[in-house]
Every structure is written in structure tokens, then in C-alpha cells.
Amino acid sequence: MTQPILHGVPLSPYVRKVRVALAEKGIDYESVPVMPFGPNPEYLAISPLGKIPCYQEGDFTLPDSSCILPYLEKTHPSPALYPSDAKEYARALWYEEYADSKLASICTVPFFQRFVQVKFMGQEADEAAVQKALTEEAPPAFDYLEKELAGREYLAGGQFSVADIATASFFVNMAFGGETVDAGRWPKLADYLERIHGRPSYKAIIEGEKAGLAG
């Protein structure tokens, strides 16, 4: 089989979702670190929305983490990253959507403001935006996750799934922005994130990204 290519810089939470799935399934790939925002015309030809990630196997190209993960599941079913039970499968998709939309709008703010804005855009961090995300927007979302995790090791199907991959990915960016979940207020969420981020797949990816940030 042609060596797959994953287009997109690793610090993107959506690219990370795919990297974790590839690692869990033991799929080797080449990484092409396309930056988001203003990608070139060749990249737009394979990812028409101009977003990262985009996955490639020879002539086959597929943008969007929420399309790439199901493709990987079909081509490499083991280990399964989607529950087999219909209801748990649907719940896993819901948590993925919740992460990709709601958590994305909260957890990436400290990272975007304090890192991307400063390093790549030459602007000062908007600390008011960071505080708004942390004090107004995060609490209801973290309360929701805390409630959903009651009595559960994983979010859906009693197994590690796309729900956990997506949820945990956004908290990596939050940590890179210098913020963590308050374990006193959200103990289940904090413990869950520590477990998911401690899996060999996630741990290696986070350590690699940290080394990239330090270098």
C-alpha cells in the first residue's frame, strides 16, 4: 500500500485527532506540516475548505478529521475506535461533535491568544478573551462533561473511542495555552483527561508536540 500522507501541522487539535487514531491503529504515515489560514492553491485542490487536516493515499484525498477517522475505521477495523452498539455509536459521534464545536471554541482560546497570536501574528495576547473563555464559557461545558463522566471510564460504549480522542485533543491545546482543568471543581474530568492523555498513543504525541514547541 502507498504510504499515507497526513497534511497539517501537529498542533491543530483536528490533526491530532487523526494522529492519535493512526497511532492507535498502528498505521505508518508521512506528515506534511501544512499551516492553516491562507493555504496554497495545491492544498486547496485537495482540501477545498482550506482547513487542516487532509489525509492522502495515492490519488485518494480526504479532508476533515470527522471523515478521516471513519475511513480509517473501515480500512483498519482493529482496534475499534467506534462502539458497535447503535446507541453508543451515536453517543460517541455526539461527543465528537460537542468537542469539535463547543470545546473548540473554549479550549483553544488560551493557546490561540498566547501562542499563535503572539508567535505567528506578531500581536499581543487578548487576555480578556482568554478570561472570558475560562470564566464564562468553560464552566458550563466542563460541568456537562463532569456529569457525563459520572460512573464512566470512557465517554461512550465502555471503550476508548472517537469521543475520547476528540474531547481530549482540545484540552491538549488548552494546556499548551498554560491552562488546566481545576481538579477541585471538576475531579472526574481532570482524572479522565490524565488517563486519556496518559495512553501510549496520546503520551507520545503530546511529548513530540511539546518538544516541537520548546525547540
Ligand X SMILES: N[C@@H](CCC(=O)N[C@@H](CS)C(=O)NCC(=O)O)C(=O)O
User: Cα–Cα–Cα angle for 7, 35, 9, nearest 5°?
Assistant: 55
Task: Select from 10, 27, 46, 66 the one that contacts ligand X (CB under 6 A).
Answer: 66
| Smallest gap from residue 79 Cβ to ligand X (A) | 21
Task: Select from 6, 21, 52, 155 the one that contacts ligand X (CB under 6 A).
Answer: 52
- Taking CB under 6 A as the criterion, which residues in 96-115 touch ligand X? 100
Residue 201 cell numbers, joined: 498513543
Per CB under 6 A, does 83 bind ligand X? Answer: no
Per CB under 6 A, does 176 bind ligand X? Answer: no
Residue 196's closest CA among 165, 157, 156, 150? 165
Nearer to ligand X, 10 or 139 (CB): 10
Nearer to ligand X, 38 or 200 (CB): 38
| Smallest gap from residue 185 Cβ to ligand X (A) | 27
User: Cα–Cα–Cα angle for 189, 191, 194, nearest 5°?
Assistant: 110
Please, what sign has the CA dihedral across residues 109, 115, 120, 124? positive
Per CB under 6 A, does 53 bind ligand X? Answer: yes
Per CB under 6 A, does 31 bind ligand X? Answer: no
The answer to whether residues 187 and 149 touch, using CB atoms and an 8 Å cutoff, is no
Per CB under 6 A, does 50 bind ligand X? Answer: yes
Q: What is the bridge-based pairing of β-strands 54-57 and 30-32?
A: unpaired
Task: Select from 26, 30, 37, 121 the one that contacts ligand X (CB under 6 A).
Answer: 37
User: Rounded to 5 degrees, what are φ and ψ at 214?
Assistant: -75, -30
CB neighbourhood size of 11 (10 A): 19
Nearer to ligand X, 14 or 176 (CB): 14
Interface with ligand X (CB under 6 A): 12-14, 36-37, 50-53, 64-66, 100
